[in-house]
Amino acid sequence: MATISFARGVPSADLLPVDELKSAIVRAMEKDATGMLLYGDPMGYMPLREWVGKRWYHDPAGVFVTNGSLQAFAFLAEVLFAGSGGRAAVEAPTYDRTILTLKRFGATVDAYPLLEDGIDVDALEAAIKAGKAPGLVYIIPNFQNPAGNVTTLAVRQRLVDLAAEHGFWIFEDDPYGDLRFSGEDVPRMFDLDQAGRVIYSTSFTKTIAPGIRAGALLLPEELRKKMAYIANQTYIGAVHFAHAAVAEYCNAGEFDKGLDRARPQLEARKDALVAALDAHLGDRFTFRAPEGGYFLWGRLDGVDCDALLPKANEAGVPFVKGSDFFVDGSGKDHLRLAFSAVKPEEMDEGIGRLAQLL
Ligand SMILES: Cc1ncc(COP(=O)(O)O)c(C=O)c1O
């Protein structure tokens, strides 16, 4: 019985841009073999920083390219919390690795409920007034991992205003923003911010391929030297070989072509998943279908998903249990289904297997 995995938030192997990357590597080697093969700037490979700066509107001097955005976030957590501690605020639920990374560098992690329109800003403001001000607020604004929802403009604006008033950083983690298949884009907090408190993060993991390990931060002046220092101490320079290929791929116009290919595929997968959930689970599973990204999040009424998971693994339909995404291990009746890497024709079989276990 072949495994149908709803666990990994990865691009579908059959949709990876293999030929386009192959020729980008060759062209990059022809243009700049030395730059690809020697150590380079700890802030990252300049032609890729320039492309990122143009696309996401930032001075290339402040674009920091790393081996994936998680690495960049770990560097920031080290800069802000290592040795000194402090508070970080996250959405509940949120990306599990973020919680682990913050804790690893000594931050106290305070989780605030993720409501339909975004993090509970009233609760955050009340906590600040009560003396629990964070040094960093971590937000996944688009097609949140795991919940799939989009933070509204009003909540984004309030967060930016609070950051200006209280002097905390906002980490706007946006690896899914380019993968909208319906509805309207919402302005970035990075663009709403007048006080220079927002660090915007993007990644090529979901829009090209995870194995190239390429992510980028748009950094304010104040953090650049500190981040470059940590990068230099950690790896001297990022993987310029891969990043030169990414720069070449992007400069050849392949990035947008890749998005144009991915969006309808993702929508078809989401639609097939929703149809399979309706057919096999009906009212037992409560969810809101996302307008983009990789994930569908929902509640299985009265089911302990921690206990369900080993059985699902055995049945070859792994998912991620909801409790992984909460600081306090709550959310046991929730689960995250990644639809990105499951073909539409496999959805019915996969959800059918899951339903049989209940
Ligand atoms: C919200 C979020 N941030 C960061 C990452 C890590 O991305 P990267 O591969 O760029 O390190 C992921 C990967 O799943 C993610 O979902």
Q: What is the CATH number of the domain that holds 281?
A: 3.90.1150.10
Q: Does 325 fall in a domain?
A: yes
Angle between helices 240-251 and 18-37 (to 10 degrees): 130
CB atoms within 10 A of CB 202: 25
**Average pLDDT over all residues of the chain:** 97
DSSP string, 194-257: SSS-EEEEEESTTTT-GGG--EEEE--HHHHHHHHHHHHHHHSS--HHHHHHHHHHHHTTHHHH
Q: Which atom of ligand 1 is nearest to the CA of 10?
A: 14
Measured in degrees and rounded to the nearest 5, phi and psi for residue 150 equal -115, 130
Is there a single domain that holds both residue 78 and residue 206? yes
Q: Does 216 fall in a domain?
A: yes
Is there a single domain that holds both residue 172 and residue 30? yes
Question: Quick one: what percent of the chain has pLDDT higher than 90?
Answer: 99
Is there a single domain that holds both residue 23 and residue 154? yes
Which of 206, 225, 254 represents a domain boundary (last residue)?
Answer: 254
The C-alpha atoms of residue 18 and residue 258 are separated, in whole angstroms, by 11
Is there a single domain that holds both residue 237 and residue 334? no
pLDDT tens, residue by residue, 287-326? 999 999 999 999 999 999 999 999 999 999 999 999 999 9
* pLDDT surpassing 90 at residue 151: yes
* Residue to mutate, 71, 95, 199, 339, ligand 1, most ligand atoms under 8 Å from C-beta: 95
Q: Which atom of ligand 1 is nearest to the CA of 69?
A: 10
Separation in Å, CA 335 to CA 48, 51, 91, 293, 331: 36, 37, 16, 16, 8
Q: Do the Cβ atoms of 44 and 173 come closer than 8 Å?
A: no
Is there a single domain that holds both residue 123 and residue 244? yes
CA 97 to ligand 1 center in whole angstroms: 8
CA 131 to ligand 1 center in whole angstroms: 31
Q: How far is CA 196 from the centre of its chain?
A: 22
* pLDDT surpassing 90 at residue 1: no
Which of 218, 237, 254 represents a domain boundary (last residue)?
Answer: 254
The C-alpha atoms of residue 218 and residue 43 are separated, in whole angstroms, by 11
CA 327 to ligand 1 center in whole angstroms: 18
Q: Does 303 fall in a domain?
A: yes
- Can you name the residues that pair with 64 across neighbouring β-strands? 217
Q: Do the Cβ atoms of 109 and 99 come closer than 8 Å?
A: yes
Please report, for the domain that includes residue 40, its CATH number. Answer: 3.40.640.10
The C-alpha atoms of residue 302 and residue 304 are separated, in whole angstroms, by 7
Q: What is the pLDDT of residue 329?
A: 87
Is there a single domain that holds both residue 231 and residue 339? no
Q: What is the mean pLDDT of residues 268-292?
A: 97
* Residue to mutate, 101, 202, 203, 295, ligand 1, most ligand atoms under 8 Å from C-beta: 203
Instruction: Find the residues whose C-beta lies inside 6 A of ligand 1.
Output: 9, 68-70, 95, 140, 145, 173, 175, 203, 205, 210, 215
Is there a single domain that holds both residue 221 and residue 266? no
For residue 67, give both structure tokens.
Answer: 């081996």
CA 356 to ligand 1 center in whole angstroms: 32
Q: What is the pLDDT of residue 246?
A: 98
Q: What is the mean pLDDT of residues 62-85?
A: 98
Q: Which atom of ligand 1 is nearest to the CA of 70?
A: 11
Q: Do the Cβ atoms of 217 and 66 come closer than 8 Å?
A: yes
The domain of 330 spans: 256-356
Is there a single domain that holds both residue 161 and residue 260? no
Q: Does 8 fall in a domain?
A: no
Q: Does 22 fall in a domain?
A: yes
Is there a single domain that holds both residue 274 and residue 186? no
Is there a single domain that holds both residue 263 and residue 224? no
CA 69 to ligand 1 center in whole angstroms: 6
Which of 254, 289, 309 represents a domain boundary (last residue)?
Answer: 254
pLDDT tens, residue by residue, 178-229? 999 999 999 999 999 999 999 999 999 999 999 999 999 999 999 999 999 9
Indicate which residue's Cα is closest to atom 13 of ligand 1.
Answer: 9
Is there a single domain that holds both residue 45 and residue 129? yes
Q: Does 177 fall in a domain?
A: yes
Q: What is the mean pLDDT of residues 70-96?
A: 98
Q: Which atom of ligand 1 is nearest to the CA of 140?
A: 1
User: What does the chain come to in residues?
Assistant: 358
Is there a single domain that holds both residue 98 and residue 150? yes
Number of domains in the chain: 2
Q: Which atom of ligand 1 is nearest to the CA of 203?
A: 10
- Cis peptide before 93, with omega less than 30 degrees from 0? yes
Q: Do the Cβ atoms of 87 and 128 come closer than 8 Å?
A: no
CA 210 to ligand 1 center in whole angstroms: 9
Q: Does 40 fall in a domain?
A: yes
CB proximity list for 65: less than 8 A, separation 6 or greater: 43, 44, 45, 48, 49, 52, 214, 215, 216, 238, 243
CA 20 to ligand 1 center in whole angstroms: 23
Q: Does 2 fall in a domain?
A: no
CA 109 to ligand 1 center in whole angstroms: 19
pLDDT tens, residue by residue, 248-257? 999 999 999 9
